[in-house]
Amino acid sequence: MIRLSPSVLQQILVLNPVKDNQRIMFLSCRCDFPFDTTRALELALFRTFVVPSIGGLLDRTGEFGRRTQKRYDDTDLILSEIIEHGYESERGTRAIARMNELHGHFRISNADFLYVLSTFVFEPIRWNAQFGWRRLCRQERLAMFYFWREVGRRMHIRDLPADYAQFDALNRAYEAEHFRSNAASRRVADATLRMFTTWAPQPLQWAVPPMIRAIMDRPLLDALGFNPAPGWVRGLVESGLRVRGRLAHTVGRGRPSLRTEMRHRTYPKSYVIEDLGPSAPETQGRPAGPAGP
């Protein structure tokens, strides 16, 4: 008799979201929902842009304007190192240290750090509620909170929420207070949108901006100054994402999809964690501040 290996969900359901959060994150984000996690974190980028203090800083550094693809790849790889290897691993520890080093060159408020960290927790959860081929279980949702809270602790972020509900409330309140339309944030968002457009074949690039706008909620669209996508485009994109998720899971059957092993445009062959991000001359001379995500 052939015995089938347990599904990813069956493995997760016997794990503890507090002490096993690193394992749950790997199984959920890299086995069952690799595409969804990446897309949700990309959407989280846009949400952070519209906070004037965050978007303004990103605009002043010029990184998103001059080297958008590199800035994206650096962020993707640092976060992927932590998700795929865990914050206690040698590689995860190095990735967190590099992130702390990079952010230490800037004065960023603790409140902004907390908000960005909250998007890592809640954007994948909210994406899943809309487009997931299955719903995240309680263990997965709690594991995301405990995982990123521990990463935040290792990044010296203060006043980390004690529980999931408190962090969710912080995320929503911060957006309600700080989502504001401003020119600097729009420039950063436009540069990022142009980068995503270049990923598509030339004849299809016209379709990328409305497709991205189709997955944005109205407060985000208004803060960015983007026009909503036509209703038929939104319906097509939402249906396509749900169908794609079911098909991809059927074909992949829970095999890990590791972004740290994929080819990135900036790093087609390999990369060194300590080399990710701007080089030292580009960050020198800026005021130092506490590290955060």
Quote the tokens at residue 71. Answer: 């800035």
Q: What is the b/e burial string over 15-51, where b = at least 16 CB atoms within 10 angstroms of the residue's CB?
A: bebeebbbbbbbbbbbbbbbebbbbbbbbbbbbbbbb
Stronger pLDDT, 239 or 293, i.e. the higher one: 239
Q: Write down the pTM of the prediction.
A: 0.91
CA distance 167 to 161: 5
Dump pLDDT digits (tens) for 109-165.
Answer: 999 999 999 999 999 999 999 999 999 999 999 999 999 999 999 999 999 999 999
Dump pLDDT digits (tens) for 217-255.
Answer: 999 999 999 999 999 999 999 999 988 887 877 776 668
CA distance 29 to 76: 13
Quote the tokens at residue 193. Answer: 């949108």
CA distance 262 to 268: 9
Domain ranges of the chain: 15-182
Stronger pLDDT, 274 or 4, i.e. the higher one: 274
Residue 3, pLDDT > 60, answer: no
Residue 68 and residue 49 in contact, taking contact as beta carbons nearer than 8 Å: no
Stronger pLDDT, 83 or 279, i.e. the higher one: 83
Q: pLDDT at position 253, please?
A: 66
Quote the tokens at residue 68. Answer: 């958008």
Q: pLDDT at position 286, please?
A: 39
Mean pLDDT of 201-208: 96
CA distance 34 to 201: 23
Q: pLDDT at position 62, please?
A: 84
Dump pLDDT digits (tens) for 29-67.
Answer: 999 999 999 999 999 999 999 999 999 999 998 888 889
Dump pLDDT digits (tens) for 252-290.
Answer: 666 899 999 999 999 999 999 999 998 754 443 333 333
CA distance 146 to 262: 27
Report the percentage of the chain scoring pLDDT > 70. 92
Q: pLDDT at position 291, please?
A: 33
